[in-house]
Copies of this chain bind each other. A is one copy, B any other.
Amino acid sequence: MEKEDSMKGEESIGNGSRGGNRSRGRQGKRKKPPKKSRGSPAGLEKLLNPHTVAVIGASNREDRIGGIILKELTRSHCLLYPVNPKYQALRGMRCYPSVLDIPGRIDLAVITIPASGVPSVLEECGRKRIPYAIVVAGGFGETGEEGKRLQDQLVEIRKRYGIRILGPNTLGVFFPHESFDTIFVEHGDKSLAGGGGTAVISQSGSVGIEALGLASNIGFGLRTFVGLGNKCDLDELDFLRYFAEEPGTQLIAFYLENINEGREFLETCSAVSRNKPIVGLKAGRTASGASAVSSHTGRLSGMDLVVEGAFRQYGILRVQDDEELTDACRALEKCPLPSGNRIAVLSPAGGYGVICADFIEMPHPRTPLAMARLLPETEHRLRYVTLPFASCHNPVDITASASGQMYGQAMEAILQDPGVDILIGLVFWSPPGIEDDLLDIIAQQVRQTEKPVLVFTTYGPFTDRYLLEFWKRGVVGYSSIERTVRAARFLVERRMQLERFARES
């Protein structure tokens, strides 16, 4: 009860301190949204880790959203209360005509009915003093004036009852550790079920979910996914604050199209990123509405510089697309940070070593990388553990005649060289001396070192399978040299960021 009381208490004092709304949708400039207050960040636990959940619009049909979500949630640890006047029972559970008929307290209502019916059931949720509601349906503010009026009704109910709303027009949340999942589309959930330390906040449901689905092919450590949807109430700032405190979250990633309170969000990022890395993707919306092709480029380019500058200043690691977002998260979650930017490359295929060196030495304005110079002792040691015709300079080429054991010994020699900050291992499965035990050999070296190791591997149709096997063993891998080197760049950038924070404090 204290949670609901505190939220109602805040309601009366919460107005007035919020910044401007930057949202500019395709339907023209939106009105400034009604002011709203924020619950305490800790309060989101009942949204993200609820004990009792009402599923409003639950169904026995698996082609209906209310049926899919009910089914998904039976895998969670929650006590479920299906709500639908059409049914007496669903999946063995008593089905209630309304949330008001449910005995006891409900932490979260998942509202799966179409938009037009949402205000009246949300009103009931408010009367039931349910603290959180996820509104799945689209057809609100994103669809024009009529939908906007419907969305305003939700905001008005939120004001009267203090109920906090996620959405509308959201896929909701996915919290693999508790098998709690309101997402009703294919999203690689089986591969994500292992969980991890990365919280993902996405304004677009599809961008978040499709990106995670693709990333899960090669392993992704998801702590929590939140789809913000139309952000009629809860927004990026609420979740940023929550994940900053949530002990299981090591890393925060966001995809945003607009930021409700730009300054406050950025300043919070700046504080949070001292403890947890923040990876950010901000998609521009202005281009689509601009009138002249030539002016597009100029404007976007300018906007881009502003975003670039702001992100750097406020401690956000900036990415350009969903693939880069997940690539950066994978490395930042699993790898220790390097002491510097000097990279050694180990390869049984000389050509790829050369390509990798090219990417490493490519000039880069933010995070220049360098090829490490190996000590003579290291090269001597490499000469000793590899074949006579191996190339023991960096990039080290132990040739296609290498064995797994040679690879491991070469890794160890390179990682012990004080002039090496990061090791990139190129891994191929076609050399006759390479067997699957190379996965474990590399994983063992990764466990033994305090330096970050990234691998590139490719093997036709088995590429993703090997990358996933690496991930399961704690090794971060990618299927292209460019992505591997880019991941190293994020580790270096994060190290530079922390050094800057230390200088500034």
List A residues at the B interface (Cβ < 8 Å): 26, 63, 138-139, 142-144, 147, 185-188, 191, 202-207, 209-211, 213-214, 216-217, 255, 257, 281, 283-285, 287-289, 291, 293, 296-297, 300-301, 304, 320-324, 342, 348-355, 357-359, 361-363, 368, 370-371, 373, 388-389, 391, 393-395, 397, 399-401, 428-432, 458-464, 479-482
Contacts and interface: CB of A to CB of B under 8 A. Distances in A.
A319 to B, nearest CB: 10
- A297, A350, A463, A480 — most chain B CB neighbours (10 Å): A350
Contacts of A187: 430, 460
B185 A430 contact: yes
A301 B351 contact: no
A37 B89 CA distance: 86
Kindly list the 3 A-B residue pairs having the minimum CB-CB distance in the complex, ordered from nearest: A204-B351, A213-B460, A143-B389
Contact of A321 (B214, B288, B322, B481): B481
In the assembly, how many copies of this chain are there?
2
A389 B26 CA distance: 11
Contacts of A389: 138-139, 142-144, 147
Contact of A284 (B202, B350, B354): B354
Contacts of A459: 186, 210, 213
Given A288-B354, A354-B257, A354-B284, A26 B391 contact: yes
- A284, A291, A359, A389 — most chain B CB neighbours (10 Å): A389
Contacts of A363: 297, 300-301
Contact of A371 (B206, B288, B460): B288
Contact of A368 (B26, B143, B297, B361): B297
Given A207-B355, A296-B371, 10 more contacts: A138-B399, A139-B389, A204-B350, A205-B400, A207-B352, A293-B370, A293-B371, A301-B362, A301-B363, A321-B359
B186 A361 contact: no
Contacts of A211: 458
A371 B287 contact: yes
30 contacts: A26-B391, A138-B400, A139-B389, A186-B430, A187-B460, A207-B352, A207-B355, A210-B430, A210-B459, A213-B459, A213-B463, A217-B463, A283-B354, A283-B358, A287-B357, A287-B361, A288-B371, A288-B394, A289-B393, A293-B342, A293-B371, A296-B370, A296-B371, A300-B363, A320-B359, A321-B355, A322-B480, A323-B480, A324-B482, A464-B464
